[in-house]
Structure 1
Amino acid sequence: MARPATYRAEDWIAAGWRALVRGGPAAVRIEALARELGVTKGSCYGYFADRAALLAAMLAQWRERSGGALIARVEAQRGTPQQRLWALIETVIREGARSPEPALRGWGRSDPAIRATLEEIDRQRLAYLEGLFRAMRFAGDGAAIRARLCYQALLAEHQLGLAVDTETRLAAWRGQFALLSAAPA
């Protein structure tokens, strides 16, 4: 495959994500990324002042895609709260294998700024899930508990990197979804 004549900021960010997933935050080095892209490292500086700016752009992209944009995509499908919850679960499972989130969470253990962003996204996601469960008529702690269980199960499965195909994971989640969304007694 021929290399493009020029690279956009998005190409540098994508290369940064690949490096992060492969080797953690220390692997996101402009010189190494330039080598991977087959360009001079000076071409990066047309988009980013320095490595910190590249890392900030990567984080901003992840924040948007995994927070507000994901929720907006689910909400655009309309449907009942149960249908939207399933759409969210299915989207996370189908797209999760390509997500850099496990690497990002690993990075967050040693970087307070990354950890703060992760905590912000966690709050946003949990609030969305809790809202779906409240719309399903779970009152009081019932909505919050179900939201937390659902979120923790999705995160844990994702962090473990289970080598199970998507359809098997979806089949397992259908049972978990039924349990979580069953009408309150």
Structure 2
Amino acid sequence: MADLVARGRHPHQSWLRQWSSDDAGVVARALAMTGVSDLADRAVDTLSGGQRQRVWISMTLAQGTDLLLLDEPTTYLDLAHAVDVLDLVDDLRESGCTVVMVLHDLNLATRYSDNLVVMREGSILAQGHPRDVITAELLREAFGLRAMVIDDPVGDRPLIVPIGRTHVQLT
């Protein structure tokens, strides 16, 4: 698995600059930051979904980028692994990395985002801090979702509680 993470150093390689101890150090730090150093010798296909997500993030970190673009980083993960991955992403954000991600789990999006962009059919309906954006009316307009929006008991964020099984007809 460490060889996959090392591929993140490819943009820094050239005919004149081959693999160095600096590159090895960057890979080791990326593995440590994502908590997968102990898995370095394992094959990727033997890892759990959450471990694989951490490995992919490690590879990105090994590139030395300060911008991380993630498309559904929690897809196919159970809730515990999803929270682990998003906690890692939050740690990276707090260390100065800019993170842009697509999340369709609205409660996770409100919990882990400083700025939300809610879209419908390619148009932006609302943008801003989750507590300023997420309303029952917006959820109805954007997703045809009947829901209550309440205060999250563990943070200054909204919590979405879906109501019933019937979707509202979008016009």
TM over 0.5: no
Between 1 and 2, higher relative CO (CA 8 Å, sep ≥ 6) is seen in 1
Q: TM-score, normalised by structure 2?
A: 0.31
Q: More strand per residue: 1 or 2?
A: 2
Give me the TM-score of the superposition, normalised by structure 1: 0.29
